[in-house]
C-alpha cells in the first residue's frame, strides 16, 4: 500500500474508532459523534471547540448558526468553501447544554485531534476560539491576545482567531478581526509572506 493509501486507511480506521468512543462522560448524552468533515488531504484545517445541538443532530461540524457564518467568512475572505478544507473540533461529542468542555474530556479526545492533524497534514491550521487555540499552542493566554498573528507550529502555520459564536455575540468589531485573520490564513495557504511567531514563545510568555 502506498503511504497515501495507508494514511487514508488509517484515517478511516480512526473515524471508526472515534464513532464508537466511550473514553469520557460525553458519550452519555450525545446523539452521535462528530468526527469532522471536508477533504482529508486539505492544506487548510479549521479546529473549533465542540459540537452544538445541530451538529449533534446531523453528525457534522459547524452546521448551525456559527457554521453558516464560518462558511460565509471563508467564502468572502478566502474564496473557499468547506469542501476544500477540513473542519474538526477539540471534543467530538456535544457537551450537554453547550457547556464548556472539561479538561478531562479534552484530554480524552485530544489523541483523535492530534492524529487527524498528523494524517491530514495541513500546511495551515486555523483555530477558532479559546479552546482549540490554547490547546494547540499549549498556553493559558486567551484568544484575544493570541489572535492577530500567525505562529510557526510544528512545521505548520497556525492562525488563531475568534470563534464564530463570539462574532455572533460581538458584532462588527469581532467580525472585522476574524476577517483579518482569515486573510492572514489565506496568505499562508498560498505561500505568501506572513510574519511567524515561534509557538514555543507563547507558552513561555503565558504568565507575563
The residues that touch ligand URA, with contacts defined as CB under 6 A, are 48-52, 55, 61-62, 64, 66-67, 89
Query: For residues 4 and 97, which CB has a smaller minimum distance to ligand URA in the complex?
Result: 97
Within the chain, strands assigned E span 37-38, 44-48, 86-89, 124-128, 150-153, 156-161, 196-198
Cα–Cα distance for residue pair 82/97, rounded to 1 Å: 26
Which residue has the CB atom at the shortest distance from ligand URA? 48
Minimal distance, residue 21 CB to ligand URA, in Å: 16
**Nearest approach, Cβ of 50 to ligand URA (angstroms)?**
6
Q: What angle do CA 142, 189, 69 make, to 5 degrees?
A: 55
Shortest distance, position 62 Cβ to ligand URA, whole Å: 4
Residue linked to cell 452521535: 32
Q: How far is the CB of 18 from ligand URA (least distance, A)?
A: 14
Nearest to 121 by CA among 150, 71, 86: 86
C-alpha dihedral (164, 168, 170, 173), degrees to nearest 10: 70
Q: Which is nearer to ligand URA, 90 or 197 (CB)?
A: 90
Give the nearer residue to ligand URA in terms of CB position, either 37 or 177: 37
Whose Cβ is closer to ligand URA: residue 89's or residue 161's?
A: 89
Amino acid at each position: 500500500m502506498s503511504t497515501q493509501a495507508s494514511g487514508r486507511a488509517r484515517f478511516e480506521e480512526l473515524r471508526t474508532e472515534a464513532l464508537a468512543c466511550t473514553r469520557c462522560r460525553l458519550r452519555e448524552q450525545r446523539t452521535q459523534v462528530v468526527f469532522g468533515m471536508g477533504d482529508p488531504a486539505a492544506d487548510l484545517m479549521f479546529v473549533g471547540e465542540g459540537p452544538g445541538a445541530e451538529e449533534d443532530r446531523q453528525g457534522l461540524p459547524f452546521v448551525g448558526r456559527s457554521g453558516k457564518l464560518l462558511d460565509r467568512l471563508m467564502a468572502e475572505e478566502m474564496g473557499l468553501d468547506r469542501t476544500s478544507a477540513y473542519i474538526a473540533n477539540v471534543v467530538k461529542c456535544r457537551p450537554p447544554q453547550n457547556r464548556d468542555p472539561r479538561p478531562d474530556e479534552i484530554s480524552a479526545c485530544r489523541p483523535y485531534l492530534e492524529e487527524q492533524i498528523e494524517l491530514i497534514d495541513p500546511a495551515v491550521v486555523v483555530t477558532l476560539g479559546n479552546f482549540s487555540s490554547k490547546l494547540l499552542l499549549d498556553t493559558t493566554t486567551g484568544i484575544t491576545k493570541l489572535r492577530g498573528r500567525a505562529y510557526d507550529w510544528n512545521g505548520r502555520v497556525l492562525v488563531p482567531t475568534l470563534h464564530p459564536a463570539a462574532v455572533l455575540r460581538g458584532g462588527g468589531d469581532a467580525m472585522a478581526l476574524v476577517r483579518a485573520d482569515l486573510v492572514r490564513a489565506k496568505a499562508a495557504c498560498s505561500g505568501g509572506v506572513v510574519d511567524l511567531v515561534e509557538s514555543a514563545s507563547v507558552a513561555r510568555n503565558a504568565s507575563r
